[in-house]
């Protein structure tokens, strides 16, 4: 078994679906931008921030995320940053995809070199053309705000807004 100290021995561990699953079911919503999958992994939606516990809007955001994701299969799309300092998976989250064979762009798609990035992605992944990005839905519903990561490379969908 590989521990965190030995994770680099796996090779390209970001492609290991046991560590970074492509899909799953939401087992428990922790707050408006974080949930636990049925496999045990904790997912933090990248590019958005919802109110933390004890803040105004916390329960509304948590309920909003629960309504969008409950009893549904979700698909995870990774970006140039796949995990955070708390060990959570960072992902764009999709629901209502029309097939189980969703083809996401690779996690390193945006990365050219250093902080240089490709142009933003403006279309849904193959197999999810009718799907909805949960991160975007949370912003549209007023339950989360977009987050820009200054001094870092650009994310795939960083400019998603309420008007898109």
Contact 24, 74 (CB under 8 A): yes
Each residue of 88-143: pLDDT tens digit?
A: 999 999 999 998 789 988 877 887 877 778 888 888 999 999 999 999 999 999 99
Tell me, yes or no, whether 4 lies in a domain: no
Asked if 42 and 30 count as a contact pair (C-beta separation under 8 A), the reply is: yes
Within-domain flag for 108: yes
136 sits in which H/E element: helix 134-140
pLDDT at 158 over 80: no
163 assigned to some structural domain: no
Q: What's the pLDDT band for 11 if we cut at 50, 70, 90?
A: low
Residue 9, domain member (yes or no): no
CATH of the domain at 104: 2.40.50.90
**Residue 69 CA neighbour count, 13 Å, CB half:** 35
Q: How confident is the model at residue 151 (pLDDT cuts 50, 70, 90)?
A: confident
Residue 131: inside a domain, yes or no? yes
Query: Is the pLDDT confidence value at 29 over 50?
Result: yes
Query: Which pLDDT belongs to residue 135?
Result: 96
- Report pTM: 0.85
Which residue's entry shows tokens 């679906």? 17
Could you tell me the residue range of the domain that residue 21 belongs to?
A: 15-146
Backbone angle region of 142, left / alpha / beta, with phi > 0 → left and psi within -120 to 50 → alpha? left
Query: What is the tally of structural domains in the chain?
Result: 1
């Amino acid at each position: 078994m590989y521990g965190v100290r030995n994770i680099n021995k796996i090779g390209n561990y970001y492609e290991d679906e046991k560590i970074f699953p492509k899909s799953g079911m939401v087992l428990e919503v922790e707050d408006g931008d974080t949930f636990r999958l049925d496999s045990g992994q904790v997912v933090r939606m990248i590019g958005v921030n919802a109110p933390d516990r004890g803040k105004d809007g916390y329960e509304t955001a948590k309920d909003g995320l629960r309504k969008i994701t409950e009893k549904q299969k979700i698909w995870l799309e990774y970006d140039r940053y796949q995990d955070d300092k708390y060990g959570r998976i960072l992902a764009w989250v999709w629901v209502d995809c029309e097939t189980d064979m969703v083809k996401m762009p690779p996690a390193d798609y945006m990365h050219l070199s250093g902080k240089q990035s490709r142009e933003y992605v403006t279309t849904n992944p193959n197999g999810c053309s009718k799907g909805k990005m949960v991160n975007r839905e949370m912003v549209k519903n007023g339950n989360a705000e977009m987050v820009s990561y200054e001094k870092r490379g650009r994310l795939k969908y960083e400019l998603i807004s309420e008007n898109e």
